[in-house]
Structure 1
Amino acid sequence: MVSIDGLTALWDRLLDAQPDPPPLLVVLTALVALVVVATRLPWQIARNAVTIAHEGGHALAALLTGRRLHGIRLHSDTSGLTLSAGRPTGPGMILTLLAGYLAPPLVGLAGAWLLAGNRITLLLWVAVALLLAMLVMVRNAFGVLSLVVTGGVVLVVSWYATPQVQAAFAWTGVWFLLLGGVRPVVELQRLRSRGRMPASDADQLAGITPFPAFFWVAVFALANLAVLGTGALLLAGPILTEAGITG
Structure 2
Amino acid sequence: MLIYLMLAVVVTFTPLLRTVFGTFNTLVHETGHAIVTLLTSGKVYSVSLFSNLEGVAITGYRSWFSGLIIFYSGYTFSTLMAIASFHFIYLENSMMLFYLLVSFALVNLLLWVRNPYGIFWLLLFLLFAFVLELQGLNQIREMFIMLIASILLIQSITTAFTVFILSVMKSKQAGDATELAKLTSIPAFIWGMVFFGQSVLGAYYVFDNYF
Q: Are the aligned partners of 1:120 and 1:166 in contact in 2 as well (CA < 8 Å)?
A: no
Corresponding residue of 2:120? 145
Corresponding residue of 1:240? none
More helix by share: 2
Cα distance per residue 1:123-182 (max 9 Å; x no partner): 322321221122222132322222121222233334435443222211111011011111
What amino acid maps onto 1:35 in structure 2? V
Greater shift in the superposed pair: 32-41 or 142-151? 32-41
1:214 equivalent to 2:189? Answer: yes
Q: Considering only aligned residues, what root-mean-square deviation do their CA atoms show, in Å?
A: 2.2
Corresponding residue of 1:33? 8
What secondary structure is seen at the aligned counterpart in 1 of 2:173?
A: coil
TM-score after normalising by structure 2: 0.87
Separation in structure 2 between the aligned mates of residue 133 and residue 147 of structure 1, nearest angstrom: 10
What secondary structure is seen at the aligned counterpart in 2 of 1:221?
A: helix
State the aligned residue count.
210
TM-score after normalising by structure 1: 0.76
Q: CA deviation at 1:105?
A: 2.6
Taking structure 1 as reference, are residues 152 and 208 closer, same or farther at Cα in structure 2, changes over 3 Å only?
same
What secondary structure is seen at the aligned counterpart in 2 of 1:182?
A: helix
Q: Are the aligned partners of 1:72 and 1:82 in contact in 2 as well (CA < 8 Å)?
A: yes
Greater shift in the superposed pair: 131-140 or 38-47? 38-47
Separation in structure 2 between the aligned mates of residue 34 and residue 161 of structure 1, nearest angstrom: 29
Query: 1:1-247 maps to which residues of 2 (within 5 A)?
Result: 26-87=1-62, 90-135=64-109, 136-160=111-135, 162-195=137-170, 197-198=172-173, 200-236=175-211
What amino acid maps onto 2:88 in structure 1? L
What secondary structure is seen at the aligned counterpart in 1 of 2:59?
A: strand
Q: CA deviation at 1:57?
A: 1.1
**5+ residue gaps in structure 2?**
none
Q: Are the aligned partners of 1:128 and 1:155 in contact in 2 as well (CA < 8 Å)?
A: no
Separation in structure 2 between the aligned mates of residue 210 and residue 59 of structure 1, nearest angstrom: 24
Q: CA deviation at 1:196?
A: 7.8
Q: CA deviation at 1:216?
A: 0.5
Separation in structure 2 between the aligned mates of residue 28 and residue 145 of structure 1, nearest angstrom: 29
Taking structure 1 as reference, are residues 235 and 29 closer, same or farther at Cα in structure 2, changes over 3 Å only?
farther
Taking structure 1 as reference, are residues 153 and 77 closer, same or farther at Cα in structure 2, changes over 3 Å only?
same
Q: CA deviation at 1:31?
A: 1.4
